[in-house]
Chain A
Amino acid sequence: MIFLIWLLYIPALYLVYGLRLALAGMGIYLHTFPTMLLHGAVFVGVYHLVKLLKKLLKVQPRIPANAGKKDKTISVYGVVTVGFTAMTALQGYGMLSRSMQGYLVPICAYVVLALSLNLVVGISGELSLGHAGFMGVGAFTGIVAATCAQNAVGDPFLRLVIGMLAGGLMAGVAGLIVGIPVLRLRGDYLAIVTLAFGEILRSLTENLHVGLDSAGLHLSMSNGGVQLQEGGKMIISGALGATGIKPISTFVAGILLVLFTVAVVLNLVHSREGRAIKAVRDNRIAAESVGINATTFKLKAFVISAVLAGMAGALFGLNLGSVQASKFSYTTSIDILVYVVLGGMGNMLGSIISTVVLYLIPEFLRSLADYRMIMYAVVLIVVMLCTWSPKIKNTISLFTYTMRTYWNRLMRKKGGSGK
């Protein structure tokens, strides 16, 4: 069965790419490593999606309570791959506007950020307001690492991977340093301290000067910056941020990172570790009573989340020619939190969809010019009220119920007259 789909999938892919080649006149390297990797991933995703469709198409009077969970996991991969295929196809047919193409990589980065924050907020149940700080650490580390590797590693994709790994590692270290003291606190205190740490991280990177010359890597936190030898290059210059970056992030890499994140988060959630993390969230005292060390597992979730955020930061930072530390302030953290809460806490598919939609709303509202951010705010408030307020929720369900019964009656009448 799998083999059959695999066989069908290859020509379909070639069709898409072939048309893209013909229409856009762009070269595509089917045999490079990242595309091969992606083909594998897309294949798995499509396979899962077909399985899901089959299950959905099968007439079942009632889905058993257990089946729903598994289908959801599968559909996350499915949605990501379908989204990728659709975007690539659109790109191939030249139907994607220039600005839309520019959003692809940032959207991937923000999806990863939302997913990783969801691990902390949704699964571990701790409100963190400093996620952008880890993103920033990852971005600048990734930029430095990728720049340093410029001569040694020729392949841009490999360089991006190096950048992401370095960024993830550094952000993970930051997460560990932040997490150990912070996770002793609870609730809103934890929130404000994560916010404080996020701002500290931003403030530190805002004063960071990094330069590369023949002697090696120069680091400085003082106002004067660093003195470089002839032919040296400033990578990060304080508040001006990193400039002159070689953009090496690609949509393919972004989707791969998203898939990687989804795999990490979902596999974690459905494992011994994930159960322990959720247990601590649901009832810390009960979790300790069955032998789970609450702090350890909160810390695990926090550090993993920071690593993923760092990788997303590297992807984000290596996407454009320059990036400033101010980008990683608490407003960005809050934006990511909004994506997570709106998508549903603990709901990974929800995080992905809400990130994409919320990221694009201001862009689609561009025609409203000055009113667009106001509209965004109104949409945000209204959606929150509609999804959370018990009163409004009741009204909506009453309305849909009335409409449905009315519709059913109408259909029945039609059916009756047909006879």
Chain B
Amino acid sequence: MSDYSKKILRVPTYSLLREQDADKQPVLVANNLGIDFGGLTAVDSFNIAIGPTEISGLIGPNGAGKTTIFNLLTGVYQPTRGAVLLKGIDTKGMQPSKVTRMGIARTFQNIRLFTDMTAKDNVKVGMHKDIRCSFFSSLLRLPSYYKSERAADEKAMELLEFMGLADVADVKAGSLPYGVQRRLEIARALATDPAILLLDEPAAGMNPSETAELTAQIRRIRDTFQIAVFLIEHDMNLVMNVCEAIAVVNYGKIIAKGTPDEIKNDPAVIEAYLGKKEES
């Protein structure tokens, strides 16, 4: 671990850590993160630390820069300022694929599945880095090919079952209903064997009962895999229910951090969402 992360750990105000994670190394740290798009500052001085088994949320009004923050954390955008530390390692200059292989997985606001492939194949693509089978043994169909394929099939089915998708395993992803597609995207992200899972508006377009199901599912994911979950969501019911810590952003900056109860009563948050009193 670099001394960089130790330095950050000494500054408690950054942290969103739960008590049980407090003595552990955070899995993801954003240190003074910022990005400019052609002179326009989209995200600025974004500081956060997420514990290894924590469910935390990122909320804020539309256009606050939440998805941009996700893109920075996963390496899709390179930050203009600051650094992202994943398991204590600076991800600067890494390709998004490399960052993922290091242990961060995500879903997308506008679902991005491999629509022409079956649900199972989608998950198997997610397991890409863990399938140990050389190029030539798959070309020559050596026994190791069959062995690794069988193992992959089994693990994919386990994951699909876990997400309640076993019966659609052989259906093309593009023809699945919306809510199922969202769950499949989570299954695919879990297949990469991440240390932290980022969910970008997982409940968007879901009805209340589906959302309630999702809330339980997110908890089950954390409990089963012992990983951190970091989510963007507009559905306050879900956020307040499932998140143990919340950061609120507006205009690319964090305006509040804390437990759901603290956030609910924070005047800055209320102002950001509802506007100032004299305006209303």
A290 touching B117 by the CB < 8 A rule? no
A275 touching B117 by the CB < 8 A rule? yes
A275 to B141, CA, bound (A): 15
Q: Please indicate the chain B residues that have their CB under 8 angstroms from the CB of A288 in the complex.
A: 76, 95-97, 100
* B116 interface residue (CB < 8 Å to A): yes
Contact partner of A264 among B98, B101, B139, CB < 8 A? Answer: B139
B138 touching A267 by the CB < 8 A rule? yes
Q: Give chain B nearest CB distance to A67 CB in angstroms.
A: 10
Given known pairs A290-B105, A290-B188, A291-B101, the reply for A283 and B114 (CB within 8 Å) is yes
Contact partner of B138 among A273, A282, A291, CB < 8 A? Answer: A273
B112 touching A291 by the CB < 8 A rule? no
Binds A, one of B30-38, B121-129, B230-238, B263-271: B121-129
A285 touching B76 by the CB < 8 A rule? yes
Interface residues of B, Cβ cutoff 8 Å to A? 74, 76, 95-98, 100-101, 105-106, 108, 112-117, 121, 124-126, 128-129, 131, 133, 135, 138-141, 145, 148-149, 152, 170-171, 188-189, 191-192
* A65 interface residue (CB < 8 Å to B): yes
A-B contacts besides A289-B105, A290-B188, 4 pairs, CB < 8 Å: A275-B117, A285-B108, A287-B114, A292-B97
* A271 interface residue (CB < 8 Å to B): yes
A272 touching B138 by the CB < 8 A rule? yes
* A294 interface residue (CB < 8 Å to B): yes
Q: Please indicate the chain A residues that have their CB under 8 angstroms from the CB of B115 in the complex.
A: 282-283
* A276 interface residue (CB < 8 Å to B): yes
Q: Please indicate the chain A residues that have their CB under 8 angstroms from the CB of B189 in the complex.
A: 289-290
Given known pairs A267-B138, A290-B105, the reply for A283 and B112 (CB within 8 Å) is yes
Q: Give chain B nearest CB distance to A337 CB in angstroms.
A: 21
A287 to B96, CA, bound (A): 10
* A279 interface residue (CB < 8 Å to B): yes
Q: How many interface residues does chain A have, given as a range?
A: 20 to 34
Contact partner of B128 among A263, A268, A292, A294, CB < 8 A? Answer: A292
Given known pairs A264-B139, A267-B141, the reply for A290 and B171 (CB within 8 Å) is no
A279 touching B112 by the CB < 8 A rule? no
> Does more than half of chain A's interface fall in helix, strand or loop, or is it mixed?
helix
Q: Give chain B nearest CB distance to A188 CB in angstroms.
A: 21
B100 touching A275 by the CB < 8 A rule? no
A279 to B152, CA, bound (A): 16
Q: List 18 A-B contacts (CB under 8 A).
A: A263-B139, A267-B139, A268-B139, A271-B133, A271-B149, A272-B133, A279-B114, A283-B112, A283-B115, A285-B108, A288-B95, A289-B96, A289-B100, A290-B105, A290-B128, A291-B97, A292-B125, A294-B97
Q: Which residues of chain A (321-344) have a CB below 8 Å from chain B?
A: none
Given known pairs A275-B121, A278-B116, A279-B114, the reply for A289 and B106 (CB within 8 Å) is yes
Going nearest first, the 10 A-B pairs with the smallest beta carbon separation are A271-B138, A286-B112, A291-B100, A282-B114, A291-B101, A288-B96, A293-B97, A279-B125, A272-B131, A290-B126
Interface residues of A, Cβ cutoff 8 Å to B? 64-66, 263-264, 267-268, 271-273, 275-276, 278-279, 282-283, 285-294, 300
User: Which chain B residue shows the least CB distance to A300?
Assistant: B135
A264 to B97, CA, bound (A): 26
A275 touching B125 by the CB < 8 A rule? yes
Q: Count A/B pairs, Cβ under 8 Å.
A: 98
Given known pairs A65-B170, A282-B114, A285-B76, the reply for A290 and B138 (CB within 8 Å) is no
A15 to B76, CA, bound (A): 64
Q: Give chain A nearest CB distance to B253 CB in angstroms.
A: 26
Scoring A65, A66, A275, A289 by chain B CB atoms within 10 A of each residue's CB, the highest score goes to: A289
Given known pairs A66-B170, A291-B101, the reply for A268 and B116 (CB within 8 Å) is no
Q: Please indicate the chain A residues that have their CB under 8 angstroms from the CB of B121 in the complex.
A: 275
A286 touching B117 by the CB < 8 A rule? no
Q: Please indicate the chain B residues that have their CB under 8 angstroms from the CB of A287 in the complex.
A: 97, 114, 125
Contact partner of B125 among A64, A263, A264, A276, CB < 8 A? Answer: A276
A64 to B167, CA, bound (A): 13
A305 to B188, CA, bound (A): 29
A290 touching B191 by the CB < 8 A rule? yes
Q: Give chain A nearest CB distance to B170 CB in angstroms.
A: 5
Q: Please indicate the chain B residues that have their CB under 8 angstroms from the CB of A264 in the complex.
A: 139
Contact partner of A278 among B117, B129, B145, CB < 8 A? Answer: B117
Q: Please indicate the chain B residues that have their CB under 8 angstroms from the CB of A289 in the complex.
A: 74, 96, 100, 105-106, 108, 112, 189
A278 to B96, CA, bound (A): 18
Q: Please indicate the chain A residues that have their CB under 8 angstroms from the CB of B96 in the complex.
A: 285, 288-289
A267 to B141, CA, bound (A): 7
Given known pairs A289-B74, A290-B100, A291-B97, the reply for A268 and B117 (CB within 8 Å) is no
A275 touching B128 by the CB < 8 A rule? yes
Scoring B105, B121, B126, B128 by chain A CB atoms within 10 A of each residue's CB, the highest score goes to: B128
Q: Please indicate the chain A residues that have their CB under 8 angstroms from the CB of B113 in the complex.
A: 282-283, 286
Contact partner of B117 among A271, A282, A292, A294, CB < 8 A? Answer: A282
Q: Please indicate the chain B residues that have their CB under 8 angstroms from the CB of A267 in the complex.
A: 138-141
Q: Please indicate the chain A residues that have their CB under 8 angstroms from the CB of B76 in the complex.
A: 285, 288
Scoring A263, A264, A283, A285 by chain B CB atoms within 10 A of each residue's CB, the highest score goes to: A283
Given known pairs A264-B139, A272-B133, the reply for A285 and B112 (CB within 8 Å) is yes
Q: Please indicate the chain A residues that have their CB under 8 angstroms from the CB of B106 in the complex.
A: 289
A276 to B131, CA, bound (A): 11
User: Which chain A residue shows the least CB distance to B188?
Assistant: A290
B108 touching A286 by the CB < 8 A rule? yes
Q: Please indicate the chain A residues that have their CB under 8 angstroms from the CB of B98 in the complex.
A: 291, 293
Q: Please indicate the chain B residues that have their CB under 8 angstroms from the CB of A292 in the complex.
A: 97, 125, 128
Q: Give chain B nearest CB distance to A45 CB in angstroms.
A: 16
A199 to B112, CA, bound (A): 37
User: Which chain B residue shows the least CB distance to A267?
Assistant: B139
Q: Give chain B nearest CB distance to A301 CB in angstroms.
A: 12
A290 touching B192 by the CB < 8 A rule? yes
